[in-house]
Chain A
Amino acid sequence: MISRRRWLAGAPAAGGLLLAGCKESLPPTYGSLFGLSDALTFAAHRLLLRNQPLAREFRRDQISQHFPAINTTNPADRDYQQLRAGHFADWRLSVGGLVTSPGELSLADLKAFPSRTQVTLHCCEQGWSAIAEWTGVQLSRVLQAVGTEPRARYVVFYSVDGWWDSLDMFDALHPQTLLAYGMNGGDLPVQHGAPVRLRVERQLGYKNLKYVAGIKLTDRLDDIEDGTGANGVAHGYPWYAGI
Chain B
Amino acid sequence: MLEPMRAATAAIAKMRHSAIVRATHWINALCFVALAVSGVAILIAHPRFYWGWTGYFDTPAAFELPLTVDLDQTGWGRNLHFLAAWITVFNGLVYVGRGLLARHFLGWHGYSRLQKLAYLGVVFVLLPVMTLSGLTMSPGVTAAHPELFDLFGGRQSARTIHFLLGNLLVVFLIGHVAMTIATGFGRNMRAMITAGDA
Give chain A's interface residues, CB within 8 Å of chain B: 1-2, 4, 7-8, 10-11, 14-15, 33-34, 36-38, 40-41, 45, 48-49, 53-56, 58, 62, 64, 66-68, 121, 123-131, 201-204, 235-238, 242-243
- What number of residue pairs across chains A and B have CB atoms under 8 A from each other? 131
Contact A11 B138 (CB under 8 A): no
Contact A7 B141 (CB under 8 A): no
Contact of A128 with B143 at beta-carbon distance under 8 Å, contacts A2-B101, A36-B83, A64-B54 already known:
no
Contact A55 B58 (CB under 8 A): no
Contact A7 B94 (CB under 8 A): yes
- Selected from B46, B144, B146, the residue in CB contact (under 8 A) with A127 is B46
Looking at the assembled complex, report how far the CB atom of B70 sits from the nearest CB atom of chain A, in whole angstroms: 10
Residue in B46, B56, B139 with the greatest tally of chain A CB atoms within 10 Å: B139
Question: Nearest 5 CB-CB pairs, A to B?
Answer: A236-B75, A242-B140, A127-B46, A48-B144, A128-B56
- Give Cα A36 to B142, complex, Å: 22
Contact A48 B141 (CB under 8 A): yes
Looking at the assembled complex, report how far the CB atom of B76 sits from the nearest CB atom of chain A, in whole angstroms: 5
| 30 contacting pairs across A/B (C-beta < 8 A) | A7-B97, A34-B82, A34-B83, A37-B79, A37-B83, A37-B86, A38-B79, A40-B86, A45-B140, A45-B141, A49-B143, A49-B144, A55-B139, A66-B59, A68-B56, A121-B53, A124-B46, A126-B46, A127-B159, A128-B48, A128-B54, A129-B155, A201-B139, A201-B143, A235-B75, A236-B75, A237-B75, A242-B138, A243-B78, A243-B139
- Selected from B56, B74, B145, B159, the residue in CB contact (under 8 A) with A64 is B56
| A4: B residues at CB distance < 8 A | 19-20, 98
- Give Cα A201 to B130, complex, Å: 24
Chain B contact residues: over half helix, strand or loop, or mixed?
Answer: helix
